[in-house]
Amino acid sequence: MAESAVQSRNQKQFISSKVEFFTESVIREMTRQAYLHGAVNLSQGYPDFPASDEIKRAAQDAIAKDINQYAITWGAKNFRQAIAAHVKSLHGLDLDPDREITVCCGSTEAMISSLLGVCNPGDEVIIFEPFYENYGPDAFLSGAKPQFVKLLPPATEKDDWTFDERELRAAFRPHTKAIILNTPNNPTGKVFTRAELELIRDLCVEFNVLAITDEIYEHILYDGTKHIAMASLEGMRERTITINSVSKTYSVTGWRVGWAIAPPSISDALRKVHDFLTVGAPAPLQEASATALALPHSYYQDLAEKYHERRRRFIPVLNEVGFRCSPPKGAYYVMADISKFKFADDVSFAKYLVEKIGVAAVPGSSFYHNPKDGMQQVRFAFCKKLETLDEAAKRLKKLN
Ligand code: GLN
């Protein structure tokens, strides 16, 4: 056996069995592939247009003013106060910034700190699928077993994704600790209705289950759809962890500033994990994020309108070139059916797309626990400049 093979076999003994059960993120791998092949990157969901000058200046000022040392581990006080004021104005909830808000390194860290803070080995966590990739490894690393509930594609353009009430009820079992909810949803664009949230609320109360809701796309909504915060429903405030971040709303995904809102005892638990995992999110960027949260109402209207224009421009292109998809109700992704292209699977299609067509998308299987379920889908992110989308359209037309 070659020496390098022996070395690699010997090194394997040092690896934790925990990491054998999942791969690195395919979403982030596709961004690397896009760079490698010079493709238009519609895989990872980050904007390629600039953030507002006002908040960029706030970040520069914070560094110049020497806000360069650790913030309080739960988050800078003025930023937590700004989050409380923002949530009050949007959802009418009165939060105690000292006991109920924890600033984390992005919603990514908020989610895993939450799960590590509440789950014991043997607990089960309900996840709607298709689901944002991170939730699978997050549940696994926290010792919990995911229970998946299917989201079913819309029947017509006007409809949204749905789920079967009986399937959801059956997923609530004696060991269920939490349900992870992402609304507006990545990757489907589904925006859960009040009736659906109330149904989930009733099940959470009946089975004594926690809701962990990722509401990072709350401002990206189409066709007059409204976002309802789970914690604002009667009976849910005391059993909800709400996760959010500045990444998507203010187009600053690289800042890594997010937060978790939870009742004091649950906040205490996730704060312990957060403290030892990361100590805190970047201090000057928390300062700038406080400025972001104070932007006027018109900022959010403008954001939604800009995304509306992108959706209007891009979804018809996909359908014209042979994908099948409906316009999402929220967020900035679309799951597109690829069966017309007659590829063996989503991975070989995504490879062809990035290497030969010059557009990066995410293979659908990345969003399902059973890869077969996503075999005829890919996900596109359309949070890009109009000219980027036009260039992607030009390239995608080569599929015809
Ligand atoms: N939410 C983004 C996506 O789904 C990516 C987030 C990330 O890579 N951390 O593409």
**pLDDT the model gives residue 1:** 60
CB 113 within 8 Å of CB 104: yes
Instruction: Quote the ligand 1 centre to 364 CA distance (angstroms).
Output: 14
Q: Report residue 20's pLDDT band, with 50, 70 and 90 as the boundaries.
A: confident
Contacts of 380 (CB under 8 A, 6+ apart): 42, 314, 318, 333, 334, 336, 361
pTM as predicted: 0.96
Average pLDDT for 151-157: 92
Q: Virtual CA dihedral for 56, 60, 66, 69, nearest 10 degrees?
A: 50
Binding-site residues, ligand 1, Cβ < 6 A: 27-28, 44-45, 108, 132, 186, 381
pLDDT for 218 equals 98
Ligand 1 atom with the shortest distance to the CA of 106: 9
Report the atom number in ligand 1 closest to the C-alpha of 25.
Answer: 8
> What is the 45 CA–ligand 1 centroid distance (Å)?
5
49 CB-near residues (< 8 Å, 6+ apart): 251, 384, 385
Residue located nearest, by CA, to atom 9 of ligand 1: 108
DSSP secondary-structure letter at 186? Answer: T
Q: Does pLDDT of 12 surpass 90?
A: no
Burial 202-237 (b: 16+ CB within 10 A, else e): ebbeeeebbbbbbbbbbbbbbeebebbbbbbbeebb
pLDDT tens-digit map of 235-281:
999 999 999 999 999 999 999 999 999 999 999 999 999 999 999 99
Nearest CA to ligand 1 atom 3: 45
CATH number of 53-293: 3.40.640.10
Superfamily of domain 16-51+298-399: Aspartate Aminotransferase, domain 1 (3.90.1150.10)
CB 151 within 8 A of CB 129: yes
Ramachandran bin of 208, using left for φ above 0, alpha for ψ from -120 to 50, beta for the remaining angles: left
Domain with CATH 3.90.1150.10 in the chain: 16-51+298-399
Ranges in the chain annotated CATH 3.40.640.10: 53-293
Residue 239 half-sphere exposure toward CB, CA atoms < 13 A: 20
Which strand (E) or helix (H) includes residue 327? none
